A and B are shown apart, each in its own frame.
Chain A
Amino acid sequence: MAAEAQPERKLSRVPDLAGRRALVIVPAYNEAETIQRVVRDLTRHAPWADVLVVNDGSRDATAQVARQAGVKVITLPVNLGIGGAVQTGYQYAYQQGYDVAFQFDGDAQHRARLLGPLAAPILAGQADLVVGSRFLRPRGMTASGMRWVGIKMLSALISAAIGQRVTDPTSGFRAAGRRAIELFATEYPQDYPEPESLVLVHQQGLRVGEVPSTMRRRLKGVSSIRPFHSVHYMAKVMLAVIMDLFKAPVLVKREAV
């Protein structure tokens, strides 16, 4: 019985693309140690999606390792940071006419088998940008101490800003539909891209959604949000988000395809 249930469970993880094409954007900066694992996870658990590794000016063998693992790699000649790297992925997705684009970290903290559920609201036409939230269900991850307070405050601010509940605004596990891809190819925030992009998407009249998700502990490297700096970080993010509310709208330039 268990053997019967297993394939069905797996099948339900495969999204109903109906001819639409999906791209997984993997921003990677000096991730040679983990990138192979990430790519293997993706090709095994999400074979229905193409993979693009955006090598953000790494000084290690990230690009070679990813290419050997058999995926498309685009190398930025200088390091642009996570915002610029992810935007490069969205520009590629836009140019190549992908219908769904995922953001998937190169440090192996995201799970490829959760990409299907992440894409579901987009494929159903219910949202333009979907965030995989670690805090949406009770058994989800809990952040420690100051970080928990910071994330709570930030989600309260963003929820108020976009008039809808968002539980995990700093999650980088996301799926974007055609309209969000088009927007991000033109304009993507550089300073604190995860929370700021939610405000941007809302301001452009696009819909934000959240689905429960889980993440692994980091294999190596540290979060860009270090605990001791989390108060400082959150203050800066909140200021940036509040400023975003006053920014002039972006004109999305539509190129003839």
Chain B
Amino acid sequence: MMLALNPMSGIQRLTLLAVAAALFFVTFELIRKRRLREEYAVLWVCTGVMILVVAILPDILFIVAGWLKLSPEVMMTLVVILFLAAIVLHYSAVITKISDRMKGLTQELAFMRDEMERLRGELKEAQRTQVDPKPKPPSLRT
């Protein structure tokens, strides 16, 4: 088996290293500033690790491309597309979860507002009729 079919030039590897470093830095900074949760950072860290691996050991890219009988350029493009698709799919799942929770909260809020209005009405009625405060609070519907 041939190794290093078409090794990358030094400048290409340096560029990839810089991209990986920038990605790590931005992800780290966003987490540090609490603008990105670790849960969603995993994918970005994985992306950075992948770029780093290719920068340090570019042979891997060419060997795998050889196995799959693809040119390295096509394989790299495919990998990137699949990765972006995975990220979008992940976000669709996150949106589903969030909208389910939002629905639950909206319903709960509607019931609580209804309950509050009922209790407020009862309180007003009690004050209006000058009835002594009840020994126990008004019954809560469950």
- A residues at B contact (CB < 8 Å): 74-78, 80, 84, 87-88, 91-92, 95-96, 190, 257
Contacts and interface: CB of A to CB of B under 8 A. Distances in A.
Interface string B104-124: 001101110110000000000
A95 B113 contact: no
B103 A75 contact: no
B106 A77 contact: yes
B141 interface: yes
B103 A84 contact: yes
Contacts, number: 34
Give the contact-size bracket for chain B: 10 to 19
A87 B107 contact: yes
B9 to A, nearest CB: 49
B8 to A, nearest CB: 44
Interface of B: 102-103, 106-107, 109-111, 113-114, 141-142
Given A76-B107, A78-B106, 13 more contacts: A74-B114, A75-B114, A76-B106, A77-B106, A77-B113, A80-B107, A84-B103, A84-B107, A87-B103, A88-B107, A95-B141, A190-B103, A257-B142
A80 B111 contact: no
Nearest to B99: A190
Centre residue among A76, A95, A190, A257 by max chain B CB count within 10 A:
A76
A80 B142 contact: no
A85 to B, nearest CB: 9
Contact of B109 (A77, A87, A257): A77
Contacts of A87: 103, 107
B106 to A, nearest CB: 5
